[in-house]
Amino acid sequence: MGQMQQDYNKFIAKNASVVVITPHDAEKTLKYFSKNNLPFYGIPDPDHKIANLYKQQWKLTKLGLMPALFIINRAGKIVFSYYSKNMKDIPANDLIIGQLEN
């Protein structure tokens, strides 16, 4: 999340909100966000209900949920999605920011 945090102002400049869905409970999510001073919204999803809705992949060999990224416009439509192959397979912020509507 460091890269996303580093470019957070670029997301805000595009009038975007950054929301991170975590596979942890509320206490662990709050503790992590506070400890790392993350400016995003964090939503706990310990039962993977949100992850399942968006068909986020679970891979036991990769030790859990694979990162997934979605850009959802204000009308609620997914306009960009990216399903990672592993924990390091995260699209560059410039690619994501380029997908945002002004």
Per-residue pLDDT tens digits for 20-47: 988 899 999 999 999 999 999 999 999 9
- The pLDDT value recorded for residue 74 is 83
Report how far residue 16's alpha carbon sits from residue 41's, in angstroms, rounded to the nearest whole number: 12
CA atoms within 13 A on the CB side of 40: 24
CA 93 to chain CA centroid, Å, is: 12
What are the residue ranges in the chain where pLDDT is below 50? none
Nearest by Cα to 36 from 48, 20, 25:
20
Q: Break the chain into its structural domains and give their ranges.
A: 2-93
- Length of the chain equals 102
Tell me which of 3.40.30.10, 3.50.30.30, 3.40.50.300, 3.40.50.2300 is the CATH number of domain 2-93: 3.40.30.10
